[in-house]
Structure 1
Amino acid sequence: MTFSGFTHTDFDVFKINGLDERMEALITHIRPKLEGLGHYFAPILSLETEDEIFPHVAKHARRTINPPQDTWVAFASSRRGYKMLPHFQIGLWETHVFIWFALIYEAPNKEIFGKELEANINKIYKQTPKNFVWSVDHTKPEASVHGNLSKEELRSMFVRLQKVKKAEILCGLHLSKEDAILMTPENFLEQAESVFKTLLTLYKLA
Structure 2
Amino acid sequence: MIFTGFTNDDFDVFTVDGLEERMDALKTHIRPKLEQLSQYFTPMLSAEIGNELYPHVAKHARRTKNPPIDTWVAFSSNPRGYKMLPHFQIGLWETHVFVWFALIYEAPDKAAFGKTLETNLDQIYKQIPNHFVWSVDHMKPSAQKHGDLSKEELRAMFTRLQKVKKSEILCGINLSREEAIAITPEDFLKKCETVFKTLIPLYKMA
TM-score, normalising length: structure 2: 0.99
- Cα distance in 1 for partners of 2:133, 2:50 equals 25
1:167-195 Cα distance to aligned partner (Å, 9 max, x none): 00000000000000001110000000000
CA positional deviation for 1:112? 0.5
CA positional deviation for 1:151? 0.5
Match of 2:37 in 1: 37
- Cα distance in 2 for partners of 1:176, 1:187 equals 15
Match of 1:132 in 2: 132
- Cα distance in 2 for partners of 1:155, 1:113 equals 13
Which sections of structure 2, spanning at least 5 residues, go unmatched?
none
- Cα distance in 2 for partners of 1:164, 1:47 equals 34
Match of 2:105 in 1: 105
- Cα distance in 1 for partners of 2:2, 2:88 equals 19
Match of 1:81 in 2: 81
1:90-110 Cα distance to aligned partner (Å, 9 max, x none): 000000000010000010100
- Cα distance in 2 for partners of 1:164, 1:125 equals 22
Show structure 1 runs of 4+ deviating over 2 A: none
- Cα distance in 1 for partners of 2:158, 2:50 equals 25
Q: Is residue 2:142 matched to residue 1:142?
A: yes
- Cα distance in 2 for partners of 1:175, 1:137 equals 18
- Cα distance in 2 for partners of 1:118, 1:17 equals 43
Match of 1:91 in 2: 91
- Alpha-carbon RMSD across the aligned residues, in angstroms, is 0.4
How do 1:188-203 and structure 2 match up within 5 A? 188-203=188-203
CA positional deviation for 1:51? 1.1
- Cα distance in 2 for partners of 1:68, 1:5 equals 21
Match of 1:187 in 2: 187
AA matched with 2:25: A
CA positional deviation for 1:49? 0.7
The percent identity for this pair of structures is 71
SS in 2 for 1:40: helix
- Cα distance in 1 for partners of 2:48, 2:108 equals 24
CA positional deviation for 1:2? 1.9
Match of 2:119 in 1: 119
- Cα distance in 1 for partners of 2:51, 2:72 equals 21
- Cα distance in 2 for partners of 1:110, 1:192 equals 25
- Cα distance in 2 for partners of 1:187, 1:32 equals 19
- Cα distance in 2 for partners of 1:51, 1:102 equals 17
Match of 1:158 in 2: 158
- Cα distance in 1 for partners of 2:160, 2:183 equals 36
How many residues matched?
Answer: 206
Match of 1:171 in 2: 171
Match of 2:2 in 1: 2
AA matched with 1:187: D
